[in-house]
A = this chain, B = another copy of it.
Amino acid sequence: MRMERLFTLNDTQAAALGAGILGTGGGGNTYVGQTWLEKELRDRGGGCRIIDADSVPDDALVCCVGTMGAPTVSNEKLLRGDEFVVGVRALEDHLKARIGALLISEIGGSNALKPLIAGLQLNLPVVDGDPMGRAFPELQMDTFAIGGVSLSPFALVDSHGNVVIMDHVDSPQRAESYARALTIEMGGSAALMMPVVTGRVMKQHLIRGTLSLAEKMGHAILAARAGGHDPAETVAALGSGRVLFRGKITDIERRTVQGFARGRMRLAGFGAAAGQMEIVFQNENLIAWQDGRIICTVPDLICVLSLDDGEPIGTESLRYGLRVAVIGMPAARELKTPAALAFVGPAAFGYPDVTFAPMPGDLL
């Protein structure tokens, strides 16, 4: 059974909005990618083929494409435009084999739409799903690395067309540290083709349907805007979650440390008895306290939306006085095993004393 649908100009805005929600404060602005994708769709006509994981043959090779680096850089330092084509072709030459489909490396934030652009450029389908089901700041924080799949060989391409192939890397943490050092040297942002896996391995590890989920969330926001109501409840329900808090940002501490936006925000509820919320973040929102009690922690999703229009608010765009809803959603099942929590639980972000108390249910 080969399931295929076309992703067209009608889908870009909703997908970008939903990817922003799933970015949980990080993952980078999705608007730049949206306009680029729209240009590619207009220039080429037609649409990008979106396929189900099951329609990929077990022995086909598939490859995640996206960018690595600080979102604050990649929002301003745009790609040249051919990096994904250059990188996929270089990997094909190196492997002496062809890539049959592309994967989304990270559905949350700016990496969500880039595989669709690459798919149009390379005339390859894109699988509906990703290995994070949200955004994470480091390469090893995905279901492939968690599942013990080798991340090498992989390719980095800079905006001058320079190509680096990491032919063999002995651990996901090493993949992260070597690629991070190169990305910084490449100007703070680079295209990343990683990992290359077989269809069989992809089906074992991919979190399925996350592109469709992002689109549904985006459509809910657009419908709420049209109807003049608040989309927070609907968006939360689509992700099996709930609205944790509504209030105003009263305090922000933010510093850039080793390329990450780290900090904390405080929110005051509306009305005297409405309580307080505090959220810490490393690019993405990590832990939320309500009136001093932990109410949601990574890998569960903590998303901040503008109350005015449902726009997802990245941690780089937080500012005093913003009126927001905070949504909590349970992470995808694959991120909550003991093995996964070693990669993406609170301790992996420097909170060894915080225990992950999962929200009920699963993202999808």
Residues of A within 8 A of B (CB): 90, 94, 96, 155, 160-170, 174, 177-178, 180-182, 184-186
Contact = CB atoms under 8 A, between A and B. Distances in A.
* Copies of this chain present: 2
A168 B186 CA distance: 13
Q: For chain A, what secondary structure do more than half of its interface residues adopt (helix, strand, loop), or is it mixed?
A: mixed
A161 B165 contact: no
Contacts of A181: 181-182, 184-185
Contacts of A174: 160, 162
A166 B90 CA distance: 11
Contacts of A170: 160-162
B166 A164 contact: yes
B178 A169 contact: no
A155 B164 CA distance: 10
The interface centre, meaning the residue of A94, A161, A167, A178 with most chain B CB atoms within 10 A of its CB, is: A167
The interface centre, meaning the residue of A164, A174, A178, A185 with most chain B CB atoms within 10 A of its CB, is: A164
Contacts of A177: 185
Contact of A161 (B161, B168, B180): B168
Sorted nearest first, the 5 A-B pairs with minimum C-beta distance are A181-B185, A163-B167, A163-B168, A165-B165, A181-B181
Contacts of A164: 164-167, 178
Contact of A186 (B163, B178, B185): B178
A90 to B, nearest CB: 6
A350 B144 CA distance: 47
